[in-house]
Amino acid sequence: MKKADRYRMVIETFGQKMPDAQTELRYDNPFQLLVAVILSAQCTDKRVNMITPPLFERFPTPADLAAAGRDEVFALIQSCSYPNNKTTSLMGMARMLVDRFDGRVPDSIDDLMSLPGVGRKTANVILSVVYDRPAMAVDTHVFRVAERIGLTTSSKNPLTTEHELVRNIPSDKIARAHHWLILHGRYVCKARKPLCEQCDIRPYCRFYSKNNRQS
């Protein structure tokens, strides 16, 4: 199957099956989403959603978090992965939002990546979810699933995956495609044992086609 045909059929199928795909992180404003995405690094969304309600109640604004005591922040997030590093990142991020951006979450990738704890993936999540930009955030699910399906070819790192996906997905569907690939990787195209017989896109999947020929 030609790559262009694979992209077209995968996008059409996801669009039909998951028309309203969105992040599973719970948030009420851009600051809360930024906090949640920082916490989600190597941590499940389910765990993050358990941590954030008391954290947001105690620190509802960047100014509140910037003025917090480290021990109090750590106590509220200690059940997530790498709580020491994330405490440092959250407090540094909040201080920079207050000092450089008047407490507002910025809308450019360079400004976002200048914040402590914010890498390219996190910045792209904010751009796509909050600001509706055609930004493709590549996490472990997106990186793995795009390669397995055949949307990317021998990608060496998340940046090459991002660029290839952005080149081939219509700009008005890029933000939603990020969620399609994440949710597909989380619930169907699992890392160790993909549920191919439950997969709606298996007729267009390189992995399924290859393994079906060999069986």
Active-site residue list? 121, 139
Q: Is the dihedral of CA 114, 117, 118, 120 positive or negative?
A: positive
- Provide the token pair at 99: 């000092």
Taking phi first (over 0 means left), then psi (-120 to 50 degrees means alpha), and beta for anything else, what does residue 154 get?
left
Instruction: Write down how long the chain is.
Output: 215
Q: In the numeric block, which tokens belong to residue 200? A: 């709606």
Contact between 159 and 144 (Cβ < 8 Å):
no
What does the alpha-carbon distance between residue 111 and residue 69 come to, in Å, rounded to a whole number? 25
CA angle 95, 98, 104 (to 5 degrees): 125
